[in-house]
Chains A and B, each alone.
Chain A
């Protein structure tokens, strides 16, 4: 298995900028995110303060960043990281694809996620609340479970779970029709208001569930890696962009306001240089 010098999670201006500087410094780089680069960035209409590109659209800037990476021989690995394991001296990153990646340093550049916990979620994590159906489903053999899903991809997880649990409540937090062939999965509506031991409560009803699987599109940074200090939705960093976990750095919106492309790119540059210093 390849061990990269630097693994960068996120393909917005922060992650791309970090990748460029890391490459200039001749480090091996694993850039993980969207191959077309940040879809959020592509939606920006007009950017007025990116030096040298007055009024550029997010779409065009993303294309230019894409070309810049290509010219430097940096590839983007399409994946979503669900966990980072501190193995002492190196980090192992778990991809949603099932792939594992190993690197000596990690840069968190996946933007800010406003994933507020559901009341009861944090307290019951590990004792009735799980973030991974494929991990914990076998513990619910013959029991009841609920799945709160933010993406249609999780329907597969629910089907897997239904093959083990006796009953599955499926609460989609996304739009669109949802139906299952399995008769032990029931699709429910509403907004989750609380998770209690043995049940899920929404604004429309109460459902018996020994386990509640909370499957968000992005994992909150504090839950991604053990020991990471956060302040609300943001990761705490120092001037060198070092987080509370040695060898893990962060840049861009994830470190806090202002949420600006040029600030993200600047921090990405500092991040990469700090990684280089840490590695040498």
Chain B
């Protein structure tokens, strides 16, 4: 399941063993292309990795905290710490390896 982050609150993601965060915005084309892929993976990784979607307009503090200067920015958190970060659209298989290898 894909969780939508509000009020700059990533608290739940930080307590998970492994979490995936998709920083995006409604006005960003590559983000819109990536969204359905993230949605599918959220289901496929159900129970293994927690998925979060962060709209940078609504959560500017988080964008600042993670140094997001270009979107989509994708971050894998392990025990609350950023373990891997990537920018831009990536196809589904590559995104899976990115999550698996983080």
Contacts and interface: CB of A to CB of B under 8 A. Distances in A.
A103 B84 CA distance: 32
A181 to B, nearest CB: 24
Nearest to B29: A94
A135 interface: yes
B11 interface: no
Contacts, number: 64
B90 to A, nearest CB: 5
A85 B89 contact: yes
Interface in B24-58: 25, 27-30, 33, 37, 56-57
A210 B25 CA distance: 20
Interface string B59-74: 0000100011111010
Nearest to B73: A126
Nearest to B27: A138
A85 B34 CA distance: 9
A126 B88 contact: yes
B17 interface: no
A135 B88 contact: no
A139 B29 contact: no
B67 A227 contact: no
Q: Is the interface of A mostly helix, strand, loop or mixed?
A: mixed
A135 B30 CA distance: 8
B63 A226 contact: no
A138 B25 contact: yes
Contacts of B37: 87-88
B100 interface: no
Interface string B12-29: 000000000000010111
B6 to A, nearest CB: 18
A210 B57 CA distance: 18
Contact of A226 (B67, B69, B90): B90
B35 to A, nearest CB: 11
B62 to A, nearest CB: 12
Among A92, A125, A127, A210, chain B packs the most CB atoms within 10 A around the CB of A127
Nearest to A129: B70
A174 to B, nearest CB: 25
Contact of A87 (B29, B30, B91): B91
B71 A139 contact: yes
Contacts of A211: 69
Nearest to A141: B60
B33 A125 contact: no
B92 A227 contact: no
A126 B73 CA distance: 8
A127 to B, nearest CB: 5
16 contacts: A83-B29, A83-B30, A83-B89, A85-B30, A85-B33, A85-B89, A87-B37, A94-B29, A126-B69, A130-B69, A135-B28, A138-B57, A139-B68, A139-B69, A226-B90, A227-B94
Interface of B: 25, 27-30, 33, 37, 56-57, 63, 67-71, 73, 87-94
Complex A-B, nearest 5 residue pairs according to Cβ-Cβ distance, in ascending order: A126-B87, A86-B91, A126-B70, A85-B33, A88-B92
